[in-house]
Structure 1
């Protein structure tokens, strides 16, 4: 078994990401959810990624999301520190988008994980980590 996480690493976090203005308690609970979801796709005893990375975060809330989406990204990235990668400074590229109810469009070539997020009737966050810093630019 490989000790490095397979890339791209994809996972789904159930729930709505907390905002920077939220309570410490809600932040901690959200980060525990992110860590549990990420760990489910990682090899046991595996190494942390150390190279430059790109993150894609798609937020699928149950209702229109109040506030700025950039305020919801930090807690997600921080939760993956020392779980997926050494430090969040390794993230060189972030793609973030929210898909509010009734505003979802078709994705061409959706992965199985993204397709699962799209089919969920509950709020979820789809996360994808890769070392290909240019994949969406092609």
Structure 2
């Protein structure tokens, strides 16, 4: 049985780029992401296998971020295979954005999880996994 979407969780720490030459740091980040997801949805055995998914990532660093914002995405998405989704090819949409403390972010209807990210005194990555809303897509 799959958990109800959307799934939202926080990963406390500084994201690691897939391009990092530090294998230990990459593996540590992936483990941290997976652990945060599992804490949110429990330890039951499941993984999305046919849902078309979107992944939203909002990064709230506490200082100037080293590297590019797009480097956050790949390793974080890969960390959730095969526990949250069987293959990252199920992810059809990715939104990644960073928000610096000196430019406070405001959201119309933030979830409780997003509010926790906004209040964090540590670097934190907010992750939301949801179904892709195809009616939102225009070509």
1:111 & 1:131 partners in 2: Cα distance? Answer: 17
2:63 & 2:95 partners in 1: Cα distance? Answer: 21
Q: 1:66 to 1:9 in 2, by over 3 A?
A: same
What runs of 5+ residues in structure 1 fail to find an aligned partner?
none
Correspondence for 1:5 among 3, 6, 21 = 3
CA-CA distance at 1:135 after TM superposition: 8.3
Secondary structure of 1:92's aligned partner:
strand
Confirm or deny: 8 A CA contact 1:93 1:133 kept in the other structure.
Answer: no
Q: 1:15 to 1:134 in 2, by over 3 A?
A: farther
Confirm or deny: 8 A CA contact 1:92 1:133 kept in the other structure.
Answer: no
Secondary structure of 1:41's aligned partner:
helix
Report Cα offsets for 1:59-97 as digits up to 9, x if no partner.
Answer: 111211122111121110000111110111110001110
Calculate the aligned-residue CA RMSD, in Å. Answer: 1.6
TM-score normalized by the length of structure 1: 0.91
CA-CA distance at 1:136 after TM superposition: 7.2
Confirm or deny: 8 A CA contact 1:58 1:97 kept in the other structure.
Answer: yes
